[in-house]
Every structure is written in C-alpha cells, then in structure tokens.
Structure 1
Amino acid sequence: MLKKLLISLVAACALTGAFSSAFAAEKKVPPVEVYVPHLCLACLDWAEHLRQNGFPKVTVKEVEDMAALKKKLKVPADLESVHTAVVAGYFVEGHVPAEDIHELLKEKPKAWGIAVPGLPRGAPGRELSMPSCETGCTMLDAQTPEREIRREMFNTMVVYKDGRVKVWARH
C-alpha cells in the first residue's frame, strides 16, 4: 500500500512539474503580430504554423500601407514578401519557418530581423493553401496525375543592424 502511494505521489509530482515547465516555457515565448495587406489563406496558414510550433499568441492584422510599415521596420526592399510580422522587437518577413524564429529569439543577434524573400513554394503556409489565393499560393504540378505540390529550396536571411545580410538558415 505504501509503495502504491509513493508511486502515485511521484507520478503526481512529475506530472505537475511537466505542466509547470510547459506553462513557464509558454509564458516566455513572446507574442507574434502578423501584418497583412489583405487576408490571404497562405498568411493565415503561416500564422497557424507558428501556433502549432510553439508560438501560442499570434494575431493577424490588416494594414493599408504595408510599404510604410516595412520601411519603419527596416525590411530591405530586395527581401520583401507579402506579410510582415513582429516578435520581440525583430521583424519577420515572409514565410519564415518557426524553428528559425525560435533560433533568432534564442541567439538574440544585433539584427533588425529575418526574412524569407518572395513566396517560395513549400515554405510554411505555402504548402497547402487553396488555389483561390490572390497571390497564387499553391503551385501544383499539372504534369503529374497526382497533382503533387512542388517545393523549392529557399533561404532565411538575417538583416544585421550594421547593414550586413547573411543566410540564417537553408531549407
């Protein structure tokens, strides 16, 4: 009987510790604000990708003057995409994988932010969007009977405050 009680107590403590650790980790993750010129399924899918990968608080807001926002956040014109997000003072431009954002927050470089330029096929949020998206989110290979989604390789770039731009991650 004492043995069962001890096992139950240890299990309860372990479970409480797991919930406590998960709650603490969730509280440390800053919120993400995603700015879009208009609601697009690919942008919404990217926001959902972030939620499913460790960013519990992601909001999406429509903005009329995206050019002014990108300029204010110091997003280089040659690295632009459609949506722009802000997390912990960094810009996150385009369909950046959540793992790259987690790495950014962990390393905390002296940077303005990170970007996936353009709209690479297969990037988070660009793999399963409906074909009705205005920006042509889903590119299907019409040459195959399965109509498989094509994927292209892409880089996540980091924009340092001293003006340097380098590859942050390759995908």
Structure 2
Amino acid sequence: MSLPMSRRRWLAWAGSLAGATLAPGLAMAARQPLIEVWKSESCGCCGAWVEHLQAHGFQVKVNHVRGPAEYREKLGMPDEFGSCHTALVQGYVLEGHVPAREIRRLLAERPAAIGLAVPGMPVGSPGMEVGERRDAYDVILVGRDRKGRVYQHYPALSGTRP
C-alpha cells in the first residue's frame, strides 16, 4: 500500500528531477569557449562563418570594424596568413575561415602556437560555401616563430559533401 506523497515532498522530487535533467546541458553551455571576432559589418561570408561557429556550440562575440588587419597585427598573426576576419579564442588567434572541428582540436591539443589560419577565402571553407563545390585548402598552424605548417588539409570536392 503506497501512501500519497505530500505536496512538499512532490515539489522537492520534481525540483530534483528538473535539476538532474537540466544541469548537464547548462554546465555544457557554460563551458563552451567564447570566440571574439573582428570583422567588417557588411561582410556576408564573415557572418556565415560566425553562424558556423554558433551551430557548432561556440559562444561568439562579434566586433564590427573597418578591417581586421589592425587586430591581426595586434594579436601577432603574420599578414601572410591574412584573410577577411580575425578572432581570438582562449589565447589563440584564428584568421579566416577556420573550421570548428580544427578549433576544437587546437583547444584540446593546446600546442605552443599563435593560432590557426586559413589564408585567403577558399571556396567551400566554412562561410564560403558555393553549392557542393570545395576547393582544396589548408588550415595552417602558425607557430610562435611566426612560421606556418599544415595542421589539416581539406581536399577539393566537386560532388556530394561527406
């Protein structure tokens, strides 16, 4: 024979259940890295890259500026790796259309580096999508010596994306 649950016990039980259900999601959201971006207000591809980051769980703070070159220089990213926007995440500089996957890898590995760059604006990189086309491009890890090495290569695709 079960006794009816008191209102107080029911509220305590419901609160515990809600906390147990919501806490993991809230804790995960609180741990998502913040990426601060400097971009031109009118740049559509930069906006699309920001949407890519948000879709992959990053928090993003956008600063509209005339051009990112000044911020790229302040943050120590060599001009040879320049693109249309500059960002900063946990002390690493991100230059250009760097995929979220490589940002997560960078943050997990924590190499001694300035950051990552995708020089230019390669078609098919995040924010630069043109149908199913993707030109080959490299994500460059820029070391503290200001030299770059290929961190991840993305081959050209002309058909369906994986």
User: How does the TM-score come out when normalised to structure 2?
Assistant: 0.77
Q: Which has the larger radius of gyration?
A: 2
Unaligned runs of 5+ in 1: 3-8, 128-137, 139-147
Distance 2:102 2:20 in 1: 28
Please give the secondary structure, in 1, of the residue aligned with 2:42: coil
2:50 aligned residue? 47
Is residue 67–residue 85 contact of structure 2 (8 Å, CA) maintained in 1?
Answer: no
2:38 aligned residue? 35
Is residue 39–residue 84 contact of structure 2 (8 Å, CA) maintained in 1?
Answer: yes
1:67 aligned residue? 69
- 1:120 paired to 2:122: yes
Higher strand share: 2
1:6 aligned residue? none
Distance 1:47 1:31 in 2: 12
2:138 aligned residue? 155
Between Structure 1 and Structure 2, how many residues are aligned? 142
Distance 2:96 2:144 in 1: 19
- Following superposition, the deviation at residue 124 of structure 1 comes to 0.5
Unaligned runs of 5+ in 2: 3-12, 155-162
Distance 1:122 1:59 in 2: 24
Please give the secondary structure, in 1, of the residue aligned with 2:38: strand
- Following superposition, the deviation at residue 97 of structure 1 comes to 0.4
Once superposed, what is the RMSD of the aligned Cα atoms? 2.2
Distance 1:151 1:68 in 2: 29
